[in-house]
Chains A and B, each alone.
Chain A
Amino acid sequence: MSEVAGDAGAVLTKTDPVVLLVGNANVGKSTLFNSLTGARQHAVNAPGTTVHLARGRWKLNDDTSALLVDLPGTTSLLPRSPDEQVVLDALTASDAEAPDLVIVVLDASTPARGLYLLAQVAERGVPVVVALTMGDVAERHGVVINTGMLADRLGVPVVAVDARSRGRAESLATAVSAALEAPADGRARIAVSWIDADELRALQSADRPLAEVIETETTLAEARFAWQHEVLDEVITSVEARRSWTDRLDRVAIHPVAGPLIFLAAMWGVFIATTRLAAPMQELFDSFVTGPLTSVVDTVLTWVGLETTWVRGLLVDGLLAGVGTLLTFIPVLAVMYVLLAVMEDSGYLARAAVVADKAMRPLGLDGRALLPLLVGFGCNVPAFAATRALPNARQRILVSLMTPYVTCTARLTVYILLASIFFGSNAGTVVFAMYCASVTLVIGMGLAIRWTVMRDVVRQPLVLQLPPYHAPAPRTVALRTWTQVRGFLREAAGIITITTMVVWVLAAIPVTGSGTFGNTPVQDSAYGRMASTIAPVFAPAGFDSPEVAGSLITGFVAKEVVVASLAQSYALAEPDDVAAPGSLGEAIRADLDQTSGGHGPAAALALMMFVLAYTACMSAVAAQAREIGWKLTNINIVLQLVVAWVLAVGTFSIARIWL
C-alpha cells in the first residue's frame, strides 16, 4: 500500500494504479475528483512547475484503491500553456507515474469539445473510461445523450456521474476496476484510425518545427471533428434548444453597463468578506492564543518553575506569537477559498473574465487577474490564493509578482501614523496619495516584468467558453477549502513560527554587557545592534535611524506590529489611536527631522514608500511561495527590497526640495 505522495517530489511506489482525470475546463472534473477521493487528497504542484494538481486515494472496492490525479482543464493535447503541457506530460509519463487508465470527463450539456479531447486521448492508446457529468444541466437544456449507444460506439464504458450524489461514484469505480483488470479492452475505438500512437509521437517530437506540427494537427483536427460529428449525430437526441435562464442571466451579467457594476459589486463583496467577515474570527483565534493558550503555558511553566526565566519569553512572545500570527490568517484564507470555489463552480468567474477583460488587456491578462489585485487591498495573503482564479501558470506568476505592491490594511496603520505626525490636517490626502502610488506601482511593475522577463505572457485572443450557471455543491466547496487551508498551514507553519522566534531570540541576546538573556533593553540586544548596522543603508532616503530600521525588520514579520515596535524602540507607550500619536509622534518627528537634516516630512514620505514596496509580511511570503515556489519568491523578496529602496531614495531626493 502506498500513501499518496504529500509533495510533488516524493517518489511514488507503484502499488496503486495511476488514474488520470482529463477534461476541458469547467466540466466538473474537480467536483468529481472531490466526490471520489473525499478528504484523502493533497494539493501539489506538478514536478518542476507551479501548475497545481490534486492527487488523492480513490477506494475502488474493498481491496483496491487507485491514485487519482486531477489534471488542469485542457482544450487539446497540443499544449499551448504550462498547464496544458502538464496534461500531456502526465499522459505520456513513464515508469511509476505512467497512467494505467484515463477517465475522460465529458460535459453532457456540451459534449462536442470533450469528444475532441477524447479522440486525442484515444490516439495515445491508453485505456479510457468516459465519465459523463452535468446531466442535470444537459436535461434542462434539452440535450439527451444515449449513454449505452455512446459506449457501444466508443467501445469503452460510459458512466453518467452526477457529482452531487455519491451513489453514481460506485458505478464509475466498478467500471474503472473492470477496465484496469483488462487493459487491452480498454482502448477507445475512434472508428477511423487516422493515426496511431507511434506516428503521433514522431509527429509531436520536440525537434519538429511548430509550423509543421500545426499544419499536421490542423489536418488531424478535421478528421477528429468529422468523427465527432458522426458520433454526436448518433447518440444525441436534442429536444428544442430552449433559451435557458443562463442566457437570460448573461444578458445582464456581461452587459456593457450592468456587467461591470455587478463585477464591482461582487469584488466589493469578496473584499468585505475577507476583511470584515473574517475579522471576528481572527480576534477569536487571537484571544484564544493570548488568553487560554498563554495561561496554559504559564501554568505549566510555573509548575516546572520556569515562569520568570527566558523560557517564558521564548515560548510566549516567540513561539505563541508565531502560532497566533499563523492562526489569524486561517479565517481570511478560508473565506477567500470558499468565495473562490463558489465563484468558479457557479460559473461567475468566467463572466468576470469577460467583463473586466479590457482593463487587464495591456498586461496580457484577462479580467480574472483583477480578483487577486483587488483582494490584496484587504490582505495580500488571500490575494495570493486568489491568483488560482487565473487559467495558466505564467499568468499566475505575473500576478503573484504584482500583488505585493497592492497596499494592504496592515500597511495603512503605518501610513496613518506617519501622515498624522508630519502632515497634520493633510494626512488624509497623503494616505490617499499612497493608495494612488500603490496602484501606479502595481501597473508599473506588471508592465516592467512583462516587458523584460515575462515576454511570453502574450495576450491570447479572448475565446472563452462560458459554462452554464449552477449552484455550487457545498461538499466540494468545503473539501476544496479544507485542502487548501491545510496546505497553507503545512507550508507556512514552519517559516512563520521560526521567523517570530528568531526575532525574539535576537531581541533577547544582550550584546553590550548590560542585561541578561531574555531581559535586555532593545537597543542593547543583538536585534538593536542589527538595526544600527542596517540603518546607514537608509541614509540616502533620510531615515537612517536605528529605531526605524528596527521597526522595518519587525515589519518583515508583520506590518501590524510596526507601530508597536517603534513604540518599544523609543521606550514609549503604543498610542491607542495611530491618528493621535502623542509622545511617540514627537519622538518619531524629532528622530526623522534629525536623520533627514531638517526634511522630516520628506523622510516620512520616503519611509511610507519603503513600507509600501518591501515585503508585506512573512505570511504573505509563505502564501506567495505556495503559489509560485520558493525560488521565485526569494528572488522577489530581493527585487522588492531593491524597488523599495530606490523608491524611498527617489521620493526623498525629490520631496526634500519642498518639504
Chain B
Amino acid sequence: MTLAKAARTGGVFRVTAIASAPGAALRLRELGLGPGAEIEILHSAGSGTRLVAVGHSRFALDRDTMNSLVVEPVL
C-alpha cells in the first residue's frame, strides 16, 4: 500500500519501494526516506500533507510524495 493510504489509519510503516521518477526517488533516498526507512505518521497539515517522523527527524510530505512511497506496516 502507499503511505498516503496508510496515513488514514496511522501508525508506523516501513518503506519497501519508491514509485516515482528516478530523480525524485533518489532525492527521497538521500533524505533518508528510501527502502528500509521506518516512517511514523504524525499530524495532518490538511489537503493530504502530513507530518511524519523518521527516527528523530520530522518531515512534511505532500500528497504526491505520500502516494509515491510504497510501505508495509511495522508490527
Contacts from A to B (Cβ < 8 Å): 75-76, 78, 80, 109-110, 112-113, 116, 138, 141, 143, 210-211, 214-215, 217-218, 221-222, 225, 241, 246-247, 250-251, 254-257, 259, 350, 353-355, 357-358, 461-466, 468
Measured in the bound complex, the distance between the Cα atoms of B49 and A259 in whole Å is 12
Measured in the bound complex, the distance between the Cα atoms of B22 and A211 in whole Å is 8
Q: Are B61 and A463 in contact (CB under 8 A)?
A: yes
Tell me which residues from 24 to 49 in chain B have a Cβ below 8 Å from any Cβ of chain A.
24-34, 36, 42-47, 49
Could you pull out 16 A-B pairs where Cβ atoms are within 8 angstroms? A78-B26, A80-B23, A110-B55, A112-B32, A218-B25, A225-B32, A241-B53, A246-B58, A256-B47, A257-B46, A354-B45, A462-B65, A463-B27, A463-B62, A463-B65, A468-B58
CB-contact partner of B51 in A110, A210, A358, A466, under 8 A: A466
Q: Are A259 and B45 in contact (CB under 8 A)?
A: yes
Nearest to B59 among chain A residues (CB) is: A465
CB-contact partner of A463 in B23, B33, B55, under 8 A: B33
Further contacts, 9 of them, CB under 8 A, given A110-B56, A214-B22? A214-B26, A241-B53, A246-B58, A250-B43, A254-B43, A350-B60, A462-B49, A464-B60, A465-B59
Q: Are A465 and B58 in contact (CB under 8 A)?
A: yes
Q: Are A461 and B26 in contact (CB under 8 A)?
A: no
Q: Which residues of A contact B64 (CB under 8 A)?
A: 461
Query: For the complex, would chain A's binding face be called helix, strand, loop or mixed by DSSP majority?
Result: helix
Nearest to A252 among chain B residues (CB) is: B43
A463-B31, A463-B61 given as contacts; is B56 within 8 A of A143 (CB)? Answer: yes
Looking at chain B, what size class is its interface with the partner chain?
35 or more
- Closest CB-CB distance, A222 to chain B, in whole Å? 8
Measured in the bound complex, the distance between the Cα atoms of B57 and A646 in whole Å is 50
Q: Which residues of B contact A250 (CB under 8 A)?
A: 42-43, 51, 58
A210-B23, A218-B26, A463-B31 given as contacts; is B61 within 8 A of A241 (CB)? Answer: no
Q: Are B30 and A254 in contact (CB under 8 A)?
A: no
Measured in the bound complex, the distance between the Cα atoms of B27 and A102 in whole Å is 23
Q: Are A221 and B51 in contact (CB under 8 A)?
A: no
6 nearest A-B pairs in the assembled complex, by CB-CB distance: A256-B46, A462-B62, A254-B45, A110-B57, A354-B60, A466-B58
Q: Are A218 and B47 in contact (CB under 8 A)?
A: no
Q: Are A218 and B45 in contact (CB under 8 A)?
A: no
Measured in the bound complex, the distance between the Cα atoms of B48 and A256 in whole Å is 10
Q: Are A215 and B51 in contact (CB under 8 A)?
A: no
A221-B30, A247-B42 given as contacts; is B57 within 8 A of A465 (CB)? Answer: yes
Q: Which residues of B contact A354 (CB under 8 A)?
A: 45, 49, 51, 60
Measured in the bound complex, the distance between the Cα atoms of B64 and A80 in whole Å is 19
A218-B26, A259-B46 given as contacts; is B31 within 8 A of A254 (CB)? Answer: no
Nearest to A228 among chain B residues (CB) is: B32
A247-B42, A259-B46 given as contacts; is B61 within 8 A of A217 (CB)? Answer: no
CB-contact partner of A254 in B24, B57, B60, B68, under 8 A: B60
Q: Which residues of A contact B61 (CB under 8 A)?
A: 462-463
What 0/1 pattern do residues 1 to 41 of B give for CB contact below 8 A with A? 00000000000000000001011111111111110100000
Q: Which residues of B contact A217 (CB under 8 A)?
A: 26
Q: Which residues of A contact B26 (CB under 8 A)?
A: 78, 214, 217-218, 221
CB-contact partner of B60 in A112, A113, A462, under 8 A: A462
Q: Which residues of A contact B20 (CB under 8 A)?
A: 461
- Closest CB-CB distance, A113 to chain B, in whole Å? 5
CB-contact partner of A355 in B24, B29, B45, under 8 A: B45
A247-B42, A357-B49, A358-B47 given as contacts; is B55 within 8 A of A112 (CB)? Answer: yes
Q: Which residues of A contact B62 (CB under 8 A)?
A: 357, 461-463
- Closest CB-CB distance, B60 to chain A, in whole Å? 4
Measured in the bound complex, the distance between the Cα atoms of B60 and A109 in whole Å is 17
Measured in the bound complex, the distance between the Cα atoms of B49 and A399 in whole Å is 24
Measured in the bound complex, the distance between the Cα atoms of B55 and A12 in whole Å is 43
Q: Which residues of A contact B43 (CB under 8 A)?
A: 250-251, 254-255
CB-contact partner of B44 in A80, A221, A256, A353, under 8 A: A256
Q: Are A80 and B56 in contact (CB under 8 A)?
A: no
Q: Are B58 and A255 in contact (CB under 8 A)?
A: no
CB-contact partner of B31 in A78, A113, A256, A257, under 8 A: A113
Nearest to B40 among chain A residues (CB) is: A241
Q: Which of A215, A225, A241, A463 gathers most chain B CB within 10 Å?
A: A463
Measured in the bound complex, the distance between the Cα atoms of B45 and A254 in whole Å is 5
Nearest to A229 among chain B residues (CB) is: B36
Q: Which residues of A contact B53 (CB under 8 A)?
A: 241, 247
Q: Are A75 and B59 in contact (CB under 8 A)?
A: no
Measured in the bound complex, the distance between the Cα atoms of B34 and A241 in whole Å is 21
Q: Which residues of B contact A110 (CB under 8 A)?
A: 55-57
- Closest CB-CB distance, B44 to chain A, in whole Å? 6
Measured in the bound complex, the distance between the Cα atoms of B43 and A112 in whole Å is 23
A218-B22, A254-B45, A463-B28 given as contacts; is B34 within 8 A of A225 (CB)? Answer: yes
